[in-house]
Amino acid sequence: MMKAPVGGAKHQLLPSCSILALLAAFALPTQVQAQVATPPLTRAGTTISNTASATFDTGGGSTTINSNQVDLLVDELLDVTVDSSNPADVPTTPGATGQVLTFSVTNTGNGVENFALSTIANAGGDNYDPVVTQIYIDNGDGIFDPNTDTLYTPGANDPELDPDESVTIFVVATTPGAVVDGNRGIVSLIAAAVTGTGAPGTSFAGQGEGGGDAVVGSTGADGTDAGAFIVSAATVTLVKSAVVTNPLGTADPIPGATITYTIVATVAGSGAVSGLAITDNVPADTSYLAGSITLGGVAQSDGVDADAGDYNGTRINVALGTVAGGQTRTVTFRTTIN
């Protein structure tokens, strides 16, 4: 005889979690949120017209009448944004001139507007103050060239921008000579609507494009953004040592002894030095040992040729070229004591 289930009740098979989830998916309506494009701002000076109508029947048939027309002149909204176009801090060196930061100025208002440009280089939060020398308006190619870009003169050629139009601005600065490797200098560019700035909602009667008012937007009608220079400098230290050997097998500097000079140039910092060369005069009372110049352990010829070293009869010279920070160069040469 089959036994009854425990408790006397029949067990029912429950649906699995995956089946429940599937049922829930079919049971709940799927909501798809449509992407609605933001329409462009209505141009300042545009007239918005509207007329109402009414239709009625007095017993003699349907009649339609119109109201008076209401016209509204769209005011000019004064808004602007400024964005740094430098993906990272711009490298510079102590005393460097003609250092460039790049910015983009965009008219985010709804009317044509001129924008006055200015800079701040001493706001703090950095290690030094770059010295701003010029501001240039790009000719449209996005590449700084003082020969083809326009030098900005405040009040004389404030850039005029249509709605949504952008212009590239170059800020040119000099790096003080006293800065050191790793120092950072910040410059901010400010663009302000020539018509006026102020708290959002501030209105300038009759000064908008098309004869309406000009109204300050959410940006205050002035925008700002900062760019930064980073000092990438290098320093060179030179250490010279000498080892003496003689025919007697001692280290005494006696006549006939050989002196091996070792010169180590160390470049430190995040930058690089160019045109680095090591020169050493052969000491008096000694004679240069021909063919003894080495660079990094590699023999150098005495003539001026393809390798880095040479000897001109009084001194040795080794041209090292460009050397980046964190690297060393070792030069050796030998003389004999007369």
Q: Per-residue pLDDT tens for 241-261?
A: 999 999 999 999 999 999 999
The pLDDT assigned to 20 comes to 42
Q: Per-residue pLDDT tens for 136-150?
A: 999 999 999 999 999
In this structure, the strands spanning 131-137 and 166-174 are: antiparallel
Q: Per-residue pLDDT tens for 29-38?
A: 445 555 667 7
77-231 matches 235-337 in fold: yes
Rounded to whole angstroms, how far apart are CA atoms 276 and 325?
12
Q: Per-residue pLDDT tens for 146-195?
A: 999 999 999 999 999 999 999 999 999 999 999 999 999 999 999 999 99
- Other CB atoms within a 10 A radius of the CB of residue 88 amount to 8
The CATH class of the 77-231 domain is mainly beta
Rounded to whole angstroms, how far apart are CA atoms 85 and 97?
20
Rounded to whole angstroms, how far apart are CA atoms 195 and 217?
12
The pLDDT assigned to 34 comes to 59
How do the domains of the chain map onto residue ranges? 77-231, 235-337
Rounded to whole angstroms, how far apart are CA atoms 288 and 282?
7
> Is CATH 3.40.50 the classification given to domain 235-337?
no
